[in-house]
Amino acid sequence: MQIFVLGMHGSGTSMLARLLNMLGVYFASEGASTGSDQENSNGFWERRDVRQANDRLLQASGADWDRVGSFSIEKIPEEELKRVQQTICSIVLELDAHRPWFVKDPRLCLLFPVWRPLLELPVCIHIYRHPLEVALSLRERNQLSVPLGLALWERYTLAAFGATAGLPRVLVSHAKLLEFPVKTLRWLAAHLMELGVRGLREPTEAEIEAFVRPGLHQHRLSVAFSARHYLREHHQNLIELIDSGAILQCGSDDLPTVSAYTMDLLAVHDSAGQKVAQQMEKLRENIVAVEKTLEDRSWRFGCNIAALEKTIEKKEVQLRTLHTAVGALQRQFQQAEALRDRWQKEFAKLNEWSERILRDFGRVLRSNRWRIGNWLSFKRAGEQSKEAHRLAQLVASRPRPASGGRHPAQVQSSTAKRKPGGTAASTNEQHITFKETANPAKADVIDVSPYSILFLMNLRAAGGGVNSIVQEANGLRKLGAAVQVAIRRQDESFYRERFPGVARDLFYVSESIAELIGYARQFEFVVATAFKTVRTLKTLLEQAPGVVPCYYIQDYEPNFCQPSEANYREAVESYTLIPEICCFAKTRWLCETVAQKHGVHVHKVEPSLDREIFFSDDRSKPGTPFVVCAMVRPVSEYRSPGLTFEILRRIKREFGQRVEIRMFGLEPNDPFLRRQPVDFEYKVLGILDRQGVAKLMQESSLFIDASTYQAFGRTGLEAMACRCATILPSEGGISEYAVDGVNTLLAAKEGLKTAARYSIERACASELQFFESLRRNIGAERSIRRKTTKVQPGAPGAARITSHDEPRGFVTHPETWVGRGELGRARPYQPTITSFRQFINDQHRYYHECPTKGGILIDVGIQGHLRREDALKLYEMAYYATGDILEFGTNRGLSTSILARAISDSGKSAKIVTMELCPELAGQASRTLSQLDFSRHIEFLVGDADASCQKLVDAGRKFAFAFVDHSHAYGDVVKACHHLSQLLTPGSFCLFHDFNDRRETVEYGVYAAVTQTLDCNQFEFCGIYGCCGLFRRRYV
């Protein structure tokens, strides 16, 4: 049933509406009500859309709620009447889904004839209140005189009873409702049920009495108030007709007409009100004009302020650049003065030596030996002198100083060279050469402007990690980069003795952290090399935010400490201490370990091997005894020194004199050896430098590493390079180069091939490519941040993947970003979720191996256009989605079937809401998915995607993954992007199909729409896979 509450303003319609709601009659959804105010704290119980429709009708006829003297339905323009009736039809259609329902608005007394033709089963409830109480209420609320209030009551009351004649209707007394609320409400419910209203509930007396309180009866008639001064005969007659109930039996023609006295009062009020309305309209126009003027001026002021801010920012950048340049010049001047002092000392020594040489040369010339030798040389003057020829070659091969170059770290020195199987040719002299560009011979490796890189090694350490840093820093110099390694003054002698062949200026020696930071701020990249150096790097960033922070992860350092130690906490925090840090490592194991444990993306670079030191000579290995060597390092528990010692002991006791045991990594007097059994013979070689390790490996036939794990296991690779068989641990990064039964254990020949794949040059080239990608991506990101707030990913900052709110780990792939000119370039599938390696299960693998059409699009029995990479990413995202899934564009159901299959395989009860504009395609997809038994997972929405999204937003729906593949037109994708921030939960993902498409037409504008619309403060770029772009909703 469709219930209408009719009564004059101030007659108690709001109270009656609330009581109907208690009976279970539907009112409206949340947010549709006009609310309450000081006049009616319990609420008006009027729908906003009903009020707006009725106001439109009154205003179209030139009337208002209190200016109704000349109102009639015929004065409403026909076009406006039709438009409003369409709105009313929509309201009624929505309400009919919740029958029985009620609508309440005093204006319906006049406008019910407009509503009546659009209704099926209306029931009207008239509420009657004494007209003088109504007039007194209007006088207080709207400052209307009592006679005018009585006139309005008469006009509304007669119009309401005339409009509802012939319909089921009930008359309720306002006075009885207040005096006997429980009895009166039950009487009303019984009458409504007699009229066919079903589904009512019976509220308790406590509920009714809690709402209907004596305080609600305001403006009650008092004895002192004289009614005869205001009530005229026609008023009395109408009151008697209503009190007797006879008015319900009157037809529209039987009712009395509005009195002439009433019409005159209303006409006078209408005239005055019309003038006020015109004045108000002019006032509103003036306010709009003033606001527009203020807005224009504010806009101009805002533009001027923005321009001034940009100018100030530009000047500040120039000032900082000048300060940096001045600082660099001052440092160069100080270095030049130090160099001058050093040269003056050298010149003084040379002067002393030259005087001594002159004295010696004079004695030689006067000697008999010189006279005889000079005569013999004269006799052989025509012969070729081998010594002179070798001297000429040596002089010609020396590098000559060159001018130019400004960076203090762009230096080069001659270093000792060793050819496999040969001897070392060395020189003690250093030739510092300032270089403008990289060596042309290396131009095929990478062609960019010189890099400035500083490795932070402000701690004392010995091991493969330190070797990697020093030898790769030296290798990066050979590729044209300006590189230095920062060490402390107290560690200088330690490192110079350990690396005697490198140029002295490769190491930058600092006296304090403050001095180091002051020097480091001039570099483009500053690289932490151990967890202790990350905090130093953070302090540097606070003072020099322009530096790109990097972390060269050598090992998983929390393994070196106990969880209760402070170092353990510092090691764990080092990976996330600097959110924007760019991490890289030499093994996949390290990359995956850090990603899984801390959610940090680590870039993979090539490992290095110094093949000038570690190489296979032509000498044969000794047959007997068979030399077995091993590193025993008691200070590192995870290197398993006790287990290594026991293995060597058993080998020796088993094979006796046929084997010789050699240990290195500890001194002969180490306390560890005193705690071990002494029942076998072995040699302790001490802590060896790199040349010592290479010599040992060339003399040994087997190298054993019994560590619990190895992050890389450099010594194993160095042993392979020296043609030494290896036994290595299976855990950790050994798998980077070691294959069980192929190049480890006894297969030393394959070990040589493995070692041949690694070199310092190859490792440095991969590191330069890493730094080059950082420079390109960071430059792009900074440019974009200056120009727009929209998303333009690709920078390492967009690759941050740490979030403690995440239920699982994930990685991003910022290196897959393409610019507009590179669209269409193929991008392989890579996992985003770190819970699996390559494939989640056999079904996921199937999409990698399934048949294709034309070698590109998958062919699984359902028509559609998806690449293998697209299908793999769709399945992965749906499988790990933590809630419902939203799909833009069902088409024939290909992508929907992949999403549904992933949900089914994961065992979740999530729903897929899929939207399709074309009913025929939606029907075909529904039949296909029903045959696959996926219907229980899918909810179809047929119609425009923008309207469907708005319905989902209004309903409060949220989704954990969205796949956008409906219209690829720019405008439609922009609309979808606007809705995503409202529909996706924080931490969820969104995949855009044909994001990586080179077509830029009206039909294909996905790339432009996404990059220009998605807000980078709410979404981050995760990667491109196939032709799809993946984005993630950020946590606020």
Question: Which sign does the torsion angle of CA 143, 149, 152, 153 carry?
Answer: positive
pLDDT score of 853: 86
| Helix residue ranges per DSSP H, 116-173 | 131-142, 146-163
Which of 815-819, 838-842, 895-899, 917-921 has the lowest average pLDDT? 815-819
| Report for 736-740, 744-748, 941-945: range of highest mean pLDDT | 941-945
Average pLDDT over residues 960-976: 93
Banded model confidence at residue 295, pLDDT cuts 50, 70, 90 = confident
- Output b/e per residue, 681-694; b: 16+ Cβ within 10 A: ebebbeeeebeebb
Which of 427-436, 849-858, 873-882 has the lowest average pLDDT? 427-436
Spatial separation of the C-alpha atoms in residues 847 and 147, rounded to whole Å: 83
pLDDT score of 640: 84
Edge-to-edge strand ranges of the sheet holding 938-942:
938-942, 912-916, 885-888, 959-964, 984-992, 1028-1033, 1019-1025
Spatial separation of the C-alpha atoms in residues 390 and 718, rounded to whole Å: 34
Is residue 766 scored above 70 in pLDDT? no
CA–chain centroid gap for 141, Å, is 55
Question: Which sign does the torsion angle of CA 465, 471, 476, 482 carry?
Answer: positive
Q: Which one-letter amino acid corresponds to residue 898?
A: I
Q: What is the pLDDT of residues 474-489, one digit of tens each?
A: 889 988 889 999 999 9
Question: What would the two tokens of residue 236 be?
Answer: 């009395």
pLDDT score of 364: 67
Banded model confidence at residue 402, pLDDT cuts 50, 70, 90 = very low
**Secondary structure (DSSP) of 931-951:** HTT-GGGEEEEES-HHHHHHH
CA–chain centroid gap for 822, Å, is 23
Spatial separation of the C-alpha atoms in residues 818 and 144, rounded to whole Å: 71
755: part of which helix (H) or strand (E)?
Answer: helix 748-756
| Residue 257 per-residue DSSP state | P
Better pLDDT: 352 or 317: 317
* 748, 723 Cβ separation under 8 angstroms: yes
Question: What would the two tokens of residue 280 be?
Answer: 């108000």
Query: Where do we find the tokens 């299976």?
Result: 730
pLDDT score of 806: 42
pLDDT score of 576: 93
Question: What would the two tokens of residue 327 be?
Answer: 């600082």
Is residue 802 scored above 50 in pLDDT? no
Spatial separation of the C-alpha atoms in residues 787 and 713, rounded to whole Å: 47
Tell me how far CA of residue 821 lies from CA of 220, 817, 1024, in angstroms.
Answer: 80, 12, 15
Instruction: Mark residue 349 as left, alpha or beta (left: phi above 0; alpha: psi -120 to 50; beta: remaining).
Output: alpha
Average pLDDT over residues 73-85: 94
Better pLDDT: 174 or 281: 174
Average pLDDT over residues 541-550: 92
Spatial separation of the C-alpha atoms in residues 347 and 742, rounded to whole Å: 59
Spatial separation of the C-alpha atoms in residues 676 and 634, rounded to whole Å: 12
Average pLDDT over residues 794-812: 47
Question: What would the two tokens of residue 817 be?
Answer: 């970003």
Banded model confidence at residue 758, pLDDT cuts 50, 70, 90 = low
Average pLDDT over residues 11-16: 92
pLDDT score of 689: 84
Closest CA relative to residue 710, chosen from 692, 689, 735, 687? 735
Banded model confidence at residue 384, pLDDT cuts 50, 70, 90 = very low
Q: Which residues pair with 453 in a beta bridge?
A: 483, 525
Report the predicted TM-score, pTM, of the whole model to 2 decimal places.
0.36
Banded model confidence at residue 441, pLDDT cuts 50, 70, 90 = very low
Is residue 412 scored above 70 in pLDDT? no
Average pLDDT over residues 827-837: 85
953: part of which helix (H) or strand (E)?
Answer: helix 945-954
pLDDT score of 448: 44
pLDDT score of 939: 94
3-class state of residue 12 by DSSP:
coil
Spatial separation of the C-alpha atoms in residues 711 and 697, rounded to whole Å: 21
* 630, 703 Cβ separation under 8 angstroms: yes
Is residue 749 scored above 90 in pLDDT? no
Instruction: Mark residue 186 as left, alpha or beta (left: phi above 0; alpha: psi -120 to 50; beta: remaining).
Output: alpha
Q: What is the pLDDT of residues 178-210, one digit of tens each?
A: 999 999 999 999 999 999 999 899 999 998 888
Question: What would the two tokens of residue 847 be?
Answer: 């999409």
Average pLDDT over residues 396-405: 39
pLDDT score of 610: 80
Average pLDDT over residues 489-512: 91
3-class state of residue 444 by DSSP:
coil
pLDDT score of 382: 43
Q: Which residues pair with 660 in a beta bridge?
A: 627
pLDDT score of 566: 84
Banded model confidence at residue 40, pLDDT cuts 50, 70, 90 = low
* Residue 135 burial by Cβ neighbours in a 10 Å radius (0-12, 13-18, 19+): buried
Is residue 719 scored above 50 in pLDDT? yes
Better pLDDT: 229 or 388: 229
Average pLDDT over residues 919-941: 91
Is residue 82 scored above 70 in pLDDT? yes
3-class state of residue 268 by DSSP:
helix
Is residue 53 scored above 70 in pLDDT? yes
Average pLDDT over residues 442-446: 37
Query: Where do we find the tokens 């294709």?
Result: 852
Q: How many CB atoms lie within 10 A of CB 118?
A: 15
Better pLDDT: 188 or 402: 188
Banded model confidence at residue 800, pLDDT cuts 50, 70, 90 = very low
* 974, 1011 Cβ separation under 8 angstroms: no
Edge-to-edge strand ranges of the sheet holding 626-631:
683-684, 659-664, 626-631, 702-704, 725-727
* Residue 582 burial by Cβ neighbours in a 10 Å radius (0-12, 13-18, 19+): buried
Is residue 936 scored above 90 in pLDDT? no
Question: What would the two tokens of residue 723 be?
Answer: 């043609």
| Helix residue ranges per DSSP H, 212-259 | 233-243
Spatial separation of the C-alpha atoms in residues 414 and 474, rounded to whole Å: 11
pLDDT score of 739: 67
Spatial separation of the C-alpha atoms in residues 1028 and 875, rounded to whole Å: 13
Closest CA relative to residue 662, chosen from 639, 645, 677, 676? 645
Question: What would the two tokens of residue 232 be?
Answer: 């005229």
Is residue 801 scored above 60 in pLDDT? no
Percent of the chain at pLDDT above 90?
Answer: 41
Percent of the chain at pLDDT above 70?
Answer: 81
Q: How many CB atoms lie within 10 A of CB 36?
A: 13
Q: What is the pLDDT of residues 655-714, one digit of tens each?
A: 888 899 999 988 999 999 988 888 889 999 998 888 899 999 888 889 998 888 777 778
Is residue 406 scored above 60 in pLDDT? no
886: part of which helix (H) or strand (E)?
Answer: strand 885-888
pLDDT score of 586: 86
Spatial separation of the C-alpha atoms in residues 371 and 756, rounded to whole Å: 56
Is residue 462 scored above 50 in pLDDT? yes
Banded model confidence at residue 256, pLDDT cuts 50, 70, 90 = very high
CB proximity list for 620: less than 8 A, separation 6 or greater: none
Spatial separation of the C-alpha atoms in residues 986 and 960, rounded to whole Å: 8
Better pLDDT: 544 or 609: 544
Banded model confidence at residue 742, pLDDT cuts 50, 70, 90 = low
CA angle 488, 494, 500 (to 5 degrees): 115
3-class state of residue 615 by DSSP:
coil
CA angle 741, 742, 748 (to 5 degrees): 105
Cβ contacts of 797-800, under 8 Å, gap ≥ 24: 797/579, 797/580, 798/1020, 798/1021, 799/582, 799/601, 800/579, 800/580, 800/600, 800/601, 800/1020
pLDDT score of 210: 87
